[in-house]
Structure 1
Amino acid sequence: MKLWKGVCAGLLLLPALVRAEEIGEVSTVFKWVGPNDKIVVEAFDDPKVEGVTCYLSRAKTGGVKGGLGLAEDRAEASIACRQVGPIRFTEELKDGEEVFKQRTSLVFKSMQVVRFFDKKRNALVYLVYSDRVIEGSPQNAVTAIPIMPWSAKQ
């Protein structure tokens, strides 16, 4: 019981990184009771890199458990990050730094996006993966953005 209280308290103290904006969704499985299973498309801006937006698609479990927020979403996700304006670093970047995290089960599973800077190729690399307290998933997706000059004519 003490462990459970500690885990819950720790989750409340986690800093909120970035909130995603839902762009759209499609139903994949009809459910008689509760919401359908879906694929959700969301967008978020990199908090330390102006001019970069990432688009994330992920599975969202429906049904009664999904409607109540008790279902565990699948680990599959896809990511595409794009330059949407002049790129400017607002803070120093750290390789493997978490730029987005979203809970995909009630307590133990989350999906996160981390950023790397490929100095040799002058590119930002974003990796999305799912982790779990006991056992993570090797499923992942990666995208890269070459850092290029931005023209106002684009």
Structure 2
Amino acid sequence: MKTLLSLSLLGALLATTVARADEIGCTTTTWKLIGANHKVCVEAFKDAKVPGVTCHVSQARTGGVSGSLGLAQDPSQFSLACRQTGPITLPAKLPESETIFSEDTSLVFKETRVVRMWDKANNTLVYVAISRKLIEGAPMNSISTVPVMPWGGH
């Protein structure tokens, strides 16, 4: 019971530090006679610790009966684009690597995760989207970079 409580508390803590995404929209890739269509959906999220950066991630979503019931495992197919959308303010202590977004892509065992890395030598934020499984990960990934530059008249 203590282990379950500890895991629940850890999950709640992680949820507070990871960005929440807003769905922008979806487009159908395959029409299904029964259940939802297969589709690609685009979501936007801001980097909670680095104001001025917004990322968009597109992900394949499985339709059909299993997809409609939430039982399908979505494929590890996604794309990532992060851009400067305002003045960038770097925190005093920016970790070299930090998970900033996570979304389940199966009922329990698989997720898409976006990790921010700091390339200090090039003054650039690097965002990497990966697919993670509890047992075995996938090599699928996508990368986007945001050079830290002045914004407008600032």
Pair in the same fold by TM > 0.5: yes
Q: Quickly say closer, same or farther: Cα 1:91–1:19, change in 2 above 3 A.
A: farther
Which residue matches 1:137? 138
1:1-150 matches, within 5 Å, as 6=4, 10=7, 13-14=10-11, 15-16=14-15, 17-90=18-91, 92-150=93-151
Regions of 4+ moved over 3 Å = 8-13
How many residue pairs get aligned? The number is 149
Q: What TM-score comes out, normalization by structure 1 length?
A: 0.89
Determine what percentage of the aligned residue pairs are the same residue: 48
In structure 1, the gaps of 5 or more residues are: none
User: Does the CA contact (< 8 Å) of 1:48 and 1:91 recur in 2?
Assistant: no
Q: Which amino acid aligns with 1:56?
A: V
In structure 2, the gaps of 5 or more residues are: none
Q: Quickly say closer, same or farther: Cα 1:37–1:152, change in 2 above 3 A.
A: farther
Q: Quickly say closer, same or farther: Cα 1:115–1:152, change in 2 above 3 A.
A: same
More strand by share: 1
Q: Which amino acid aligns with 1:62?
A: G
Q: What TM-score comes out, normalization by structure 2 length?
A: 0.89
User: Does the CA contact (< 8 Å) of 1:50 and 1:90 recur in 2?
Assistant: no
